[in-house]
Amino acid sequence: MTDSRHKTEKPQPPFPAELKALGSQILGSEKTGDGHHEMLVDRSRILEVLRTVKEDPAIHCDLLVDICGVDWPDRDDRFEVVYHLAALETGLRLRIRVPLKEEDPTMPSAFGLWKGANWFEREAWDLFGIHFEGHPNLKRLLTHEAFDGHPLRKDYEPGRRCLLTEDEIMTPEWARENPTDNDQFETHILNLGPSHPATHGVLRTVVQLEGEVIRRAECEIGYLHRCFEKMVESQGWNQVIPYTDRLNYCSSMINSVGYALAVEKLLDVEAPPRAQILRLILSEFSRIMDHAVCLGANLVDLGAVTGSRYFFQVREEIYGLLESCSGARLTVSYARIGGLSHDVPENFSSQVRVLLDTIPGFIDDVEKLVTRNTIFRDRTEGVGVISGAEALAWGWTGPCLRASGIPYDVRKASPYLGYENIEFDVPVATTGDCYARYLVRMEEMRQSLHIIRQAIDSIPGGPVMIDDPHIAPPEKSKAYNEMESMIRHFKLLNDGIQVPAGNGYGFTEGANGELGYYLVSNGGGKPYRIKVRPPCFAIYQAYPHLLEGQMVSDAIAILGSLNIIAGELDR
């Protein structure tokens, strides 16, 4: 197994001496193996540590990646809050764990340091019942108002439901008050969604209007909360893959590849080169599909229906390729831990080359129709502006962050799948408005094609699945004819892949930004906890603030430009 060990891991910056001075218990990065420095901090000191981590110029973690809870009913300290932080400049990655007692699961909120903590903390409250003191609006986020209990606690029955009736549907408190002041006679409350053509599935925003200008807004999410994180705790590690495919269903391949990579990190193995490059090609095609949906939907919302038809045709063309590889169009379930479920068809390269020739035509068509179209520019330029610093404070990543001038891309910052051997540009815009986000996505589609063009010439031969009997099932002919293989097959399929106890965070560049999986294993065939860090979760929490002061019709333009996918947002 030695030859399949990680070779591509970038050297992690050394542990900052300033943090050692804080005197917390430091678990070295060697222990985690996922390129993170890990610390265990007592809750009484957590704010101090977080502040140092953010403000000390030598550390300067400007991105709050994720906050999540973990439940350990057998431990003295039942709960654990886990922070993931990143410094974009140095590439430093930190994980801070804070144990909490069952009787008193409270801790200070990090909202004052990073605005992005807002929803992550609300989620931890909702799902684990961890109370964050000083949080501005600590209430349920994903589950509904009538929900009872905290479902991700281990003692919560996965199937126990609480029903919601119509009168209990959430209305924010400020929306319930009747404006009595005469000056406010024109103020009224408007409800957008969750069943609204421009809310792309199931998003809901309540806005307060003064004339046509939005004065205040609040989002409600969770309408597609399908309990991903609870469901996967009862599945084997490989069985999680169909679930990951349904997170961001517009680009399912990226999710499952990201998940497989994260588990492989935990197992300390690497898929064979052929599988890696095929994963890369299909991920880039998925990125194109995702951007096509995002831009297409954005255009429809702004009245440019034709553009979306061209973009949906792009998807149809790519579906053909995915279907020939995996048998499914949308939710492909093609990646496996350790490689791919099976090899691609013989004519794969020629199919890809056909796509490489046809897709630019569609992009050009839309480019000609839209990019310099006056109506489109009037509707998007200067609308929904966010500065780079602000976006980062909210935890934005991906194309939306790059449209605000910060060139952070996981594919460049910590390359995986061999992105380090491929030459491509990271498009960046500076204005941070809807138009910039459109331009960035358009260019990213072209860059993806450019990446595929290089990769397609260098697909090596060989297997697409790792040669490790503890991970890959033996070939069928062997399983039928050889005793040992049969036993292995039986054991692997019954008990699942055994992942050594430990934790790890794996992250890749999803279509919307950094897609991370925080995995905790207790050494069994099933995950103990999987936390997804969905990119659009962080992005969408800033939406109400983008709306304030904008016209109500701009709300639609802004929403479309952010590309919020409910499956990933609500999980």
Partner 1 sequence: MPQPDGSSIVLTTRVQAMLGWVRKNSLWPLPFGTGCCAVEFNSSVSSHYDLARFGAEVVRFSPRQSDMMIVAGTITDKMGPVVKRVYDQMAEPKYVIAMGACACSGGFYRAYHVMQGIDELIPVDVYVAGCPPTPEALIHGILELQEMIQRGKTHHDRLKTQDRKATTALPG
Contact residues: partner 1, CB under 8 A: 142-144, 147, 151, 156-166, 169, 194-197, 201-202, 222-227, 230-231, 242-243, 246, 249-250, 293, 309, 312-313, 315-316, 319, 329-331, 566-567
Chosen from ligand SF4, partner 1, none, partner binding at 176 (C-beta under 5 to 8 Å by type): none
Nearer to partner 1 by C-beta: 164 or 486? 164
CB-based closest residue to ligand SF4: 246
Chosen from partner 1, ligand SF4, none, partner binding at 13 (C-beta under 5 to 8 Å by type): none
Question: Which of 116, 142, 118, 115 has the alpha carbon at shortest distance from 128?
Answer: 142
Nearer to partner 1 by C-beta: 56 or 145? 145
- Beginning with the edge strand found earlier in the chain, give each strand of the sheet holding 187-192 in spatial order: 187-192, 204-210, 213-220
What letter does residue 167 receive in the DSSP assignment?
G
Closest CB 289 distance from partner 1, rounded Å: 10
Cis peptide before 194 (omega within 30 of 0): yes
Nearest-angstrom CA–CA distance, 35 and 22:
21
Nearer to ligand SF4 by C-beta: 227 or 428? 227
- Three-state DSSP state, 32: helix
* The length of the chain, given as a count of residues: 571
Helix (H) or strand (E) holding 515: strand 514-521
Closest CB 245 distance from ligand SF4, rounded Å: 9
Q: Which residues sit at the interface with ligand SF4, rule CB under 6 A?
A: 246, 331
Closest CB 225 distance from partner 1, rounded Å: 5
Closest CB 69 distance from partner 1, rounded Å: 16
280 with 455: CB under 8 angstroms?
yes
Nearer to partner 1 by C-beta: 28 or 158? 158
Chosen from partner 1, ligand SF4, none, partner binding at 250 (C-beta under 5 to 8 Å by type): partner 1
Chosen from ligand SF4, partner 1, none, partner binding at 344 (C-beta under 5 to 8 Å by type): none
Closest CB 213 distance from partner 1, rounded Å: 25
Provide the token pair at 203: 């998003």
Nearer to partner 1 by C-beta: 164 or 426? 164
Question: Which of 160, 158, 151 has the alpha carbon at shortest distance from 71?
Answer: 151
Closest CB 242 distance from ligand SF4, rounded Å: 8
In angstroms, what is the C-alpha Rg of the chain?
Answer: 24
Nearer to ligand SF4 by C-beta: 140 or 246? 246
Nearest-angstrom CA–CA distance, 326 and 289:
16
CA 38 to the chain's CA centroid: 22
Question: Which of 94, 92, 76 has the alpha carbon at shortest distance from 84?
Answer: 94
Closest CB 541 distance from partner 1, rounded Å: 18
Chosen from partner 1, ligand SF4, none, partner binding at 115 (C-beta under 5 to 8 Å by type): none
- Is 341 exposed, middle or buried (CB count within 10 Å of its CB: 0-12, 13-18, 19+)? middle
Closest CB 197 distance from partner 1, rounded Å: 4
Chosen from partner 1, ligand SF4, none, partner binding at 196 (C-beta under 5 to 8 Å by type): partner 1
Angle, vertex CA 279, rays to CA 277 and CA 120, nearest 5: 130
Could you tell me the maximum CA-CA distance found in the chain, to the nearest angstrom? 86
In whole angstroms, how far apart are CA 157 and each of 75, 146, 434, 533?
A: 20, 17, 43, 24
Chosen from ligand SF4, partner 1, none, partner binding at 202 (C-beta under 5 to 8 Å by type): partner 1
Chosen from partner 1, ligand SF4, none, partner binding at 17 (C-beta under 5 to 8 Å by type): none
Chosen from partner 1, ligand SF4, none, partner binding at 528 (C-beta under 5 to 8 Å by type): none
Closest CB 159 distance from partner 1, rounded Å: 6
Chosen from partner 1, ligand SF4, none, partner binding at 195 (C-beta under 5 to 8 Å by type): partner 1
Nearer to ligand SF4 by C-beta: 54 or 246? 246
Nearer to partner 1 by C-beta: 365 or 482? 365
- Please name the amino acid found at residue 20: K
10 Å Cβ neighbour count for 268? 15
Provide the token pair at 196: 């609204």
65 with 536: CB under 8 angstroms?
no
- Which neighbouring-strand residues pair with 533? 516
Nearer to ligand SF4 by C-beta: 191 or 239? 239
Closest CB 335 distance from ligand SF4, rounded Å: 17
Nearer to ligand SF4 by C-beta: 331 or 447? 331
